[in-house]
Copies of this chain bind each other. A is one copy, B any other.
Amino acid sequence: MRRVAIAGVGMTKFGEEWTRGFRDMLIEAGTRALADCNLHGEEIDAIYVGTMAPGSLVGQEHVGALVADSMGLTPVPATRVEAACASGGVALRTGYMAVASGMHDCVVVGGVEKMTDTPGNEVASALGGAGDQEWELFMGATFPAIYALMARRHMHEYGTTEEQLASVAVKNHSNASKNKHAHFQNEITIETVMGSKYIASPLKLFDCSPITDGAAAAVLMPLEKAKKYTEQPIEIVASAQASDAIALHSRESMSALKSTQVAARKAYEMAKLSPKDIDVVEVHDCFTIAEVMAIEDLGFFKKGEGAKASYEGRTALNSEISVNTSGGLKGCGHPVGATGVKQAVEIVWQLRGKADGRQVKDCEIGMTHNVGGSGATAVVHIMRKA
């Protein structure tokens, strides 16, 4: 396998895009990523696009070819990959394989979702397809409900409180306020979260990531080639993925994601690193409880101590471990298929020292953690300055 690096990255400002379709957003993100490393379109060998539910949301499948067409890149092979909310992460991993294998020398990885401006109640039911349609969604278990069950269990087992969960949202809004690409750029307080309405108890409105439109892209090359296109190539030193039961009721634990634990273990092995080596991490905080479980399952805190650690500020910018400097899914927004790629964009910016007011000091090694559904898929990447 060849060593693989990210040469260029780009993303749209995340938010509600009432006047643009997802092909517009992908073109913008892709063009920015190409410009970021002075790459011409004819040098691209393949495209991988992560998107979850364009068929249900906008009636469009075959998004790989659509992107190649829209960007004027035909006949480049273009493939969509999907693993629900981890679609962006698996797109990055597939692009990594394509370069590592020697199959392609220059791959563009994109992630996108168009979630506003879709008909009727489509978004909630489309997102429900990330879980078990027959045994969860059909019975009324939407995603806030599923994560609420996990939160209740975490509270029961470890004494986690609603205020502690709220601190995750407060921290992520604070980081997002320093990120011009974020959906939300306003700071909030514990009181904001605690005073918001319950969506699925104990999760309140401000415990939930928003419905967001957006796209992100990254250019992958063999490391030596990347050095010719950028002065700051970021090497992908680990790419790992794991699955778990798709329905929550079939899992070993309701307060941990085994898929995250397995993917993290593999990633640390592949990179010959441990949690203490990671300077900055983007984790999958679709709900506040998800970030709490993630920082435990990734090994940054002991099981059961994640919420308390968050409340104590140990995950804040330039604290023990800087978690979700982009603002995470909560603050930066969660255009489902784009999220996994956006996480990589943020880590590249951090490792380059180009993260503006949210820059992590002495930042050498970063990680991304992308979850599909309620944890049936987890993808972990580790990146470092080359």
| Contact assessment for B376 and A245 in the assembled complex, using a CB-CB cutoff below 8 Å | no
* In the complex, per-residue mask of A252-272: 1 if CB is within 8 Å of any chain B CB, else 0: 000000110011000000000
Please, which residue of chain B has its CB at the minimum distance from the CB of A91? Answer: B79
Complex Cα distance, B243 from A63, in Å, reads 11
| Contact assessment for B1 and A101 in the assembled complex, using a CB-CB cutoff below 8 Å | yes
Which of the four size classes fits the interface of chain A?
35 or more
Interface centre among A47, A131, A377 (most CB of B within 10 A): A377
Residue of B56, B82, B101 touching A62 (CB-CB under 8 A): B82
Using known A-B contacts A101-B102, A243-B68, A245-B69, determine if residue A82 contacts B83 with beta carbons closer than 8 Å.
no
Residue of B55, B64, B126, B377 touching A65 (CB-CB under 8 A): B377
| Contact assessment for B90 and A97 in the assembled complex, using a CB-CB cutoff below 8 Å | no
Which of A70-78, A312-320, A343-351 lines the interface with chain B?
A70-78
Residue of B59, B90, B125, B246 touching A69 (CB-CB under 8 A): B246
* In the complex, per-residue mask of A178-217: 1 if CB is within 8 Å of any chain B CB, else 0: 0000000000000000000000000000000000000000
Residue of B64, B83, B97 touching A98 (CB-CB under 8 A): B97
Residues of chain B contacted by A132 (CB below 8 angstroms): 60, 66
Residue A100 at the B interface, CB < 8 A?
yes
Complex Cα distance, B336 from A355, in Å, reads 44
- Which residues 224-254 of A sit at the B interface, judged by CB distance below 8 A? 240-247, 250
Residues of chain B contacted by A84 (CB below 8 angstroms): 61-62, 65
- Which residues 258-310 of A sit at the B interface, judged by CB distance below 8 A? 258-259, 262-263
Residue A372 at the B interface, CB < 8 A?
yes
Residue A373 at the B interface, CB < 8 A?
yes
Residues of chain B contacted by A128 (CB below 8 angstroms): 59
Residue A170 at the B interface, CB < 8 A?
no
Using known A-B contacts A1-B103, A55-B126, determine if residue A243 contacts B77 with beta carbons closer than 8 Å.
yes
Nearest-neighbour CB distance to chain B for A130, whole angstroms, equals 5
Residue A133 at the B interface, CB < 8 A?
yes
Residue A331 at the B interface, CB < 8 A?
no
Residues of chain B contacted by A243 (CB below 8 angstroms): 47, 64-65, 68-69, 73-78
Using known A-B contacts A1-B101, A101-B1, A372-B65, determine if residue A81 contacts B78 with beta carbons closer than 8 Å.
no
Interface centre among A63, A78, A134 (most CB of B within 10 A): A78
Please, which residue of chain B has its CB at the minimum distance from the CB of A85? Answer: B62
Residue A367 at the B interface, CB < 8 A?
no
Residue A53 at the B interface, CB < 8 A?
yes
Residue A174 at the B interface, CB < 8 A?
no
Residue A353 at the B interface, CB < 8 A?
no
Residues of chain B contacted by A240 (CB below 8 angstroms): 77
Nearest-neighbour CB distance to chain B for A317, whole angstroms, equals 32
| Contact assessment for B61 and A82 in the assembled complex, using a CB-CB cutoff below 8 Å | yes
Complex Cα distance, B68 from A90, in Å, reads 15
* In the complex, per-residue mask of A120-153: 1 if CB is within 8 Å of any chain B CB, else 0: 0000011011111110011000000000000000
| Contact assessment for B79 and A90 in the assembled complex, using a CB-CB cutoff below 8 Å | yes
Residues of chain B contacted by A97 (CB below 8 angstroms): 94, 97-98, 101, 103
Residue A58 at the B interface, CB < 8 A?
yes
Residues of chain B contacted by A341 (CB below 8 angstroms): none
What are 17 A-B residue pairs whose CB atoms fall within 8 Å in the complex? A54-B129, A55-B56, A58-B133, A59-B137, A59-B138, A60-B132, A61-B82, A65-B377, A68-B376, A69-B247, A75-B242, A77-B240, A77-B241, A78-B377, A80-B82, A80-B83, A97-B97
Known: A62-B372, A64-B243, A69-B247. 14 other contacts (CB 8 A): A52-B61, A53-B61, A55-B55, A55-B129, A61-B84, A61-B126, A65-B246, A65-B373, A69-B244, A69-B376, A75-B259, A76-B242, A80-B81, A81-B94
